[in-house]
Amino acid sequence: MIWSIVLAAGSGTRYGRLVPKQYEGLRGRRLVDWSLDAAAEASDGVVLVVAGEYREQAEDTADIVTTGGSTRAESVRRGLAHVPADAEVVIVHDAARPLATAALFAAVAAQISEGADAAVPGIPVTDTIKRVSAGIVRETVERSELAAVQTPQAFRAEVLRRAHAAGADATDDAALVEALGAEVVVVPGETANLKITHPHDLLVAEAVLDEGGRS
């Protein structure tokens, strides 16, 4: 069985609006609904993790709705606690990435079925990336070795549970799995699968849909 955890318990500080960004509308549906639909299509069950004040909203697409924590990693742990013990694969997805396709969920999950412990979508980085401290460039990182990593990220359930057991923090779940020494496979990501972070990202998402939808 494949279960997905959709994370929607953030406050969207960088987005800077009163209502968290995952409740913004895109083509008449909230970002969280886009994410839930893709997750539901690709999995046997979906746990939605929301902030306490959104707990009472009916979410038809989610099988289980629970309350998140103060960090993304803590929200994942709260969601993971509700994933049934017989789920072999767990996919973690940010509600803030509404344009991820069900095919991308399936692609990362397939890697686990084929024996991987973890699989993430990655796309080549287009900016030149420099390591900077105190306002000074310390190093230019070799771009050909870099990947911008997205969600959905798929894991062997037992590995994800182990990665989160110590209660550590990280910006994605793969980093915690890497810390265990496990191998993380990279599959081709989707350039349209942008993360809505600032208000202008929503304009880009609308333009992507104008151009022909999720891809």
Tokens of 24: 């913004």
| Ranges within 32-71 binding ligand CTP (CB under 6 A) | 49, 68-71
Tokens of 43: 């999995």
For the bound state, the minimum distance from the C-beta of residue 21 to ligand CTP, rounded and expressed in Å, comes to 7
**Part in contact with ligand CTP (CB under 6 A); list of ranges 10-18, 106-114, 134-142, 160-168:** 10-18
Per-residue CA distances from 194 to 47, 144, 187, 204, 205 (Å): 22, 21, 16, 9, 7
Complex with ligand CTP: residue 49 or 116, whichever CB lies closer: 49
93 with 6: CB under 8 angstroms?
yes
Complex with ligand CTP: residue 161 or 198, whichever CB lies closer: 198
Complex with ligand CTP: residue 67 or 88, whichever CB lies closer: 67
Asked if residue 12 binds ligand CTP (CB under 6 A), the reply is: yes
Among 1, 11, 124, 179, binds ligand CTP (CB under 6 A): 11
Asked if residue 172 binds ligand CTP (CB under 6 A), the reply is: no
Chain residue whose CB lies nearest ligand CTP:
10
Complex with ligand CTP: residue 43 or 153, whichever CB lies closer: 153
- What is the C-alpha to C-alpha distance for residues 184 and 201, in angstroms, rounded to an integer? 28
SS3 for 205? helix
Asked if residue 13 binds ligand CTP (CB under 6 A), the reply is: yes
How many amino acids of this chain bind ligand CTP (CB under 6 A)? Answer: 23
Complex with ligand CTP: residue 8 or 65, whichever CB lies closer: 8
- What is the C-alpha to C-alpha distance for residues 187 and 41, in angstroms, rounded to an integer? 19
H/E stretch holding 108: helix 102-113
Tokens of 51: 């902030």
SS3 for 182? coil
CA-closest candidate to residue 39, choices 112, 95, 120, 88: 95
Tokens of 6: 């959709």
Complex with ligand CTP: residue 95 or 116, whichever CB lies closer: 95
Applying CB under 6 A, the residues found at the interface with ligand CTP are: 7-15, 20, 22, 49, 68-72, 75, 94-96, 195, 197
